[in-house]
Chain A
């Protein structure tokens, strides 16, 4: 009978199948309390700090850097030292990247089945790797000594390199060489395309490579929206422009359902649900969390959702389900004084609304020049499935609703 508590990888989202164990937050043999962050997981979309499922002495069995399937056991929490020793005998320990506990790691933990990335078999020597793994590591600038080999005796094999490349390899620190005399072009830094950057890299290219994208520009008077926002703010919690814009999008999509669509194989699917992603960059790269079912939410509900998602994004605690299955995206560059731009559709969606700054401009009205707050709108869409006229009509509806919010009713 085993009394120990198993630590396993939770399913963080509907589509999640596995994750990378980035690191352990406690050393082997260390006492861990319930709810204390015990390890860090990373999927291709989020990083998740996992709280401990209970109290106990930590016995990690999966090495930092390894790929773990959902519900796979990565470690145990022992009730006491005797049980820890028993666990160590039964399950070879993996080293943690955290510093060793002040006491002493229990006997048995040295017999690691998997070479730990922090202290691999290379100490002073050469990493064990298959020939093809060695060639691939060289070609991709992957440092073999930082990879936990899955082969016999910790041998790094081809699959390990592929995984490392996929998740963003622990790239070899490339010393920036001084520009040689006469060299016309030299890099001062080499940044591996990995992690979130890799996802963005692939998705952006996929979007433009698969769709026929077209961008339409127009401008709206922002006066009514400014007024609406100040009235709402006076009456309760603060509402952001993005919340108002998401509401506008939701209402406009009701009139133009074909814009809320995607292509799957040879079929255009017009989605029942309206999930609007709001593009954010909070210092960790571009992410687009989704506001769910906006068509049935009030402005205040939408605003609260966006605030919650932004907080989670800042804390790095977004769930995978917050990032998948969008049907339309809003991207707002107003904060950077941008007017018109050409947003790239967030594949596999089919349309994205780019919003610029609100700026006062002289406008001719009824033969008079008046000063008015104006807002630039840019709609990019997949011309394969949305023709120019319906796309323009959708943008016109957006513009009309911004200028006359009563049209949303």
Chain B
């Protein structure tokens, strides 16, 4: 199958069109979906093609999340649009106390095939309440799966896998990457299984372990580093839970060094979890401490220069790599 160049938004829409055509139990609910095809235009064509299967709700996140949980329990496959990932706080009981635990508490008698679509990330001058990266909260909740794609092909392949999964999946997609274009396979059965990372640039000197927007920082840094004779390997984790530790281990065993890069703030971020696992499982392979590159531990500022200052940059990645490479 030949590849097409398309944006992440178009890749998402294509995944939804294909899956909704395949399985009529799939439907979308959220705020302001039909009038504008989603606030980012991500549901283009769906209201016309699948009338009645994309529903506008009142402005109540608890209600939206609760509807998702209930409909999933009763045989539907809902996709819950949360508008901004920041709003998950209003659906927290439904996601973490209900969705995450029901299958376990009913001894596996029910399943909960729900995708919670969470546009996240900073850089749009959207201030502290609309710019967060909150994936670590859900990684910390047993019972949820957590997906954070970077490139358009990953968005499509992982959304299809998330929809077909029988457990609740938190799907974080960075707002600033919606318009970013990339190759997307045309194969309608192109699916990226959850829990599989991808080595997107091979290198022998350091492993850059990343996901989401961090991936693009790492690719930029790797390009710069190559000019200075450091070959960085870029591992796009894609799914944080389940985590593909095998791919991480293979990379670190090759390079002896790891730098973890994410846009979420540093303390208690996913990098902390990954660093802990690396030191526990790969201790004898490390030639340097595992470093993390992340946003500073503050609310994301509204002021553009301050927002830029808080977010991690390729230069920070380069600096961390040089530190672990003793350069």
Contacts and interface: CB of A to CB of B under 8 A. Distances in A.
Interface stretch (A151-159, A273-281, A340-348): A151-159
B326 interface: yes
Interface in B270-309: 283-288
A158 B284 contact: no
Interface in A343-402: none
Nearest to A135: B284
Interface string B243-268: 00000000000001000000000000
Interface stretch (A22-30, A115-123, A125-133): A125-133
A105 interface: no
A131 to B, nearest CB: 5
Nearest to B284: A135
Nearest to A158: B287
Interface in A121-167: 130-135, 150-152, 157-159
Contact of A151 (B256, B283, B285, B326): B326
A132 B326 contact: no
A131 B326 contact: no
A131 B284 CA distance: 5
Interface of B is mostly: loop
B275 to A, nearest CB: 14
Contacts of B283: 131
A129 to B, nearest CB: 10
Contact of B256 (A134, A150, A152, A158): A158
Nearest to B326: A151
Contacts of A159: 326
B100 to A, nearest CB: 36
Contact of B286 (A132, A150, A151, A152): A132
Point out which of A131, A150, A159 has the most chain B C-beta atoms below 10 A from its C-beta: A131
A238 to B, nearest CB: 55
Nearest to A159: B326
A150 B287 CA distance: 12
A157 B288 contact: yes
Contacts of A157: 287-288, 326
A133 B284 contact: no
A53 B86 CA distance: 69
A226 to B, nearest CB: 60
Contacts of A131: 283-287
A132 B288 CA distance: 9
B246 to A, nearest CB: 19
A153 B287 CA distance: 14
Given A132-B256, A158-B256, A150 B326 contact: yes
Nearest to A157: B287
B155 to A, nearest CB: 36
Nearest to B285: A132
Contacts of B256: 130, 132, 158
A132 B278 CA distance: 13
B294 to A, nearest CB: 22
A165 to B, nearest CB: 15
Point out which of B283, B284, B286, B287 has the most chain A C-beta atoms below 10 A from its C-beta: B287
A150 B326 CA distance: 8
A131 B286 CA distance: 6
Contacts of A150: 326
B244 to A, nearest CB: 22
Contacts of A132: 256, 284-287
A321 B286 CA distance: 40
Interface of B: 256, 283-288, 326
28 contacts: A130-B256, A130-B286, A130-B287, A130-B288, A131-B283, A131-B284, A131-B285, A131-B286, A131-B287, A132-B256, A132-B284, A132-B285, A132-B286, A132-B287, A133-B287, A134-B284, A135-B284, A135-B285, A150-B326, A151-B288, A151-B326, A152-B326, A157-B287, A157-B288, A157-B326, A158-B256, A158-B287, A159-B326
Q: Which 8 A-B pairs have the closest CB atoms?
A: A158-B287, A130-B287, A135-B284, A132-B287, A131-B286, A131-B283, A131-B284, A132-B256
Given A131-B283, A157-B326, 20 more contacts: A130-B286, A130-B287, A130-B288, A131-B284, A131-B285, A131-B286, A131-B287, A132-B256, A132-B284, A132-B285, A132-B286, A133-B287, A135-B284, A150-B326, A151-B288, A152-B326, A157-B287, A157-B288, A158-B256, A159-B326
